[in-house]
Structure 1
Amino acid sequence: MTPFSYTRASDAADAVRRGGSGQSKYLGGGTNLVDLMRENIEQPITLVDVTGVSTGIEPVVGGGLLIGAGARNTAVAEHRLVRMSYPVLARAILSGASAQLRNMATIGGNLAQRTRCEYFYDDGGSRCNKRRPGQGCDAIDGINRGHAILGVSSACIATHPSDMCVALAALGASVHLHGLTGDRRLPLTEFHCLPADHPEIENVLEPGELITAVELGPLPVASRSTYRKVRDRSSLAFALVSVAAVLKVDGGIVRVVRLALGGVATRPWRASKAEMILLGQPATVEIFRAAAEAELSDAQPSKHNGFKIELAKRTMVAVLTELSTDRGDISHG
């Protein structure tokens, strides 16, 4: 591990003052960053501790919820307003890691976490464009069963690992940032970058910029929402496919729908094509299947992960079917 200095910030402005250089990293729970430092993949000169900064979970005037970036994942998943009004988020967080990790991990850290691609972590023997730009990607011709089929490029096929971010994408969340030039806010769906020719650029954070909060807008129908994760084992495994969904059906017609996919894309994937097909249509298995087919029509599978296409379609249909019936009412789940 490369030697580094440590400093602790008192608030967001202080954090940015201390961590404004490109050679600093913000330390929240450390559940991802510390591992990367041990592997010499991340080599910050300075760690700026932001634990205790922006930890609140507060209702927003006019509806919605503001979740501080320093809030622990467990605190968010167990919060009464999250469980009642945004159950898809609670379920996504609870499916994401062990209780010990959730107790340490923060919301901001979850957003900024890096891929768990095996080739990315294999610094001694594998080429990876995320780790060293221009080096090449051994995953493309290697063992790629767990890799992405949407949003891929010739430079990278690594999946984004977060469950929480998939739920936030479906909910239309926004991200609050504080940097050297002030504050800004953007949709979560614009926070993570597609790899294209520069997979080392994973998000739109500017040097020294700090995530301060995630905001959920007023969305009453989100009380009828869920998250389903398909994986190789029931715990401590990343998604092969996951689906976050919000659905309102009235008179047999889809009136509101929000969908996002995980485990299949290089960033949390808002299923916009499927949403467009579903809106205003009968809530039937046939329509659900047509929407899933449309969303996966641009999939680019590699040698070992073509099964994800059908798995994603079936999971989408199953989740939508669940939510369109009385059994799908999980607002108090």
Structure 2
Amino acid sequence: MAKNNLTIVTEFILMGFPDYPELEIPLFMAFLSFYLVTLLGNLGMIILIHEDVRLHTPMYFFLSHLSLLDTCYTSVITPQVLATLAAGRTVISYGQCAAQFFFFTICAGTECFLLSVMALDRYVAVSSPLLYIVTMPPRICWALVLGAYICGLTGSILRTSCTFTLSFCDDNQINFFFCDLPPLLKLACSDTKDVEIVIVFFGNFVILVNALVILISYLLIIKAVLKVSSSEGRAKAVSTCASHLTAVALFFGTLAFMYLRSASGTSLEEYKAVSVFYTVVIPMLNPLIYSLRNTDVKAAFRKVAGRFQVSQSM
């Protein structure tokens, strides 16, 4: 088709799950349940950390920001998914699509760096428990968190600018449930090769650098744990890292599957399934992972719940 006959896209149609119309109602109920549990779990974690002075430590400071990121990036995606499932499809403007992509990639990218920061924090806590608070004062914690946000913002600007400099013509139906890279690349009518090379290279670099930081941190943690003489001390050191390791395995496992290979060569149906886990399930699981085996969080919850019951009875 001649270039001057192409119609420039000004809005997109999110198709959601067009191959499974019979599952729209069950999927709507499932996504809604996941979203409510995610909000309750993550916002509850933030409130507990703010309210209980025993949780005013670097570990829980970083955890509160992890909960904030999980709340934000699932809120960027899930309401759109619910609207699409309720209506069968959703019309979204070009600007709204770009904004959704931008904010989602900020949150996901920042979380990648924050998990690395949390690994460093766990190393300091295990290797120098008596000097932990001194080594990680508030100004250092804020500097590390702000660094993670800046890195996430930088990556999001790069990915968004590369993606939305592509031309989208005529076909505006996105066979996906939100504006993400692979379906947008498949929809573009201009050559995506250079853009994909830049984005995939940057994505690989970010994932590998953070994975390397986490790996080195845990190798040093293992070395520190082996120096602990008592079995009780070793068990306590390992328990402080178990939740973080679980969160890292879930997050980086999905990142590796999604971004360490060519985005345009990945099956969209396969990508959809992993994206649901990545954008909806993991944010719901993180507060559970960090609270189920954490005695401090359980004690803080009982304290806040008891205070609420007293205020209700007065």
Scaled by the length of structure 2, what TM-score is found?
Answer: 0.30
Structure with greater contact order relative to length (CA < 8 Å, sep ≥ 6): 2
Name the one with the larger helix percent: 2
Name the one with the larger strand percent: 1
